[in-house]
Amino acid sequence: MDQTVHYLSISGMTCGCCSGRVTRALEATPGVLKALISFEDNNGNILTNADVNRSTLVEVVKSVGFEASA
């Protein structure tokens, strides 16, 4: 199985609860294997199956109230 690591810049997170909410939303997305989100650095590294695209990940982050860009 091919895997890809996506890097996202995420804004609006202010605490560990925020990064936890983003992590849970991403890891509930089909094809996402692991999400490492840092509110301190305002970014995330997301390990996915190769068929998950970055725009899907950005939309998931936006759906829980934060801004994201690739």
Whether 16 and 39 have beta carbons less than 8 Å apart is answered as yes
Is residue 13 included in any domain, yes or no?
yes
Q: How many domains does the chain have?
A: 1
Domain-embedded: residue 63 = no
For residue 53, tell me if it sits in a domain.
Answer: no
Q: Say how many C-beta atoms besides its own lie within 10 A of residue 44's C-beta.
A: 24
Q: Is residue 25 part of a domain?
A: yes
Range of the domain at 40: 7-45
pLDDT, tens only, 15-51: 999 999 999 999 999 999 999 999 999 999 999 998 9
In this prediction the pTM is 0.94
Distances (CA, A) of 31 to 21, 26, 39, 51, 62: 18, 9, 23, 7, 18
Is 60 a domain residue? no
Instruction: Note the pLDDT of residue 54.
Output: 95
Tell me what the mean pLDDT of segment 5-23 comes to.
97
Q: In which band, very low, low, confident or very high, does the pLDDT at 70 lie, cut at 50, 70 and 90?
A: confident
The residues, ordered by sequence, that sit 6+ positions from 4 with a Cβ below 8 Å of its Cβ are 47, 48, 49, 50, 52
Separation of CA 17 from chain center: 14
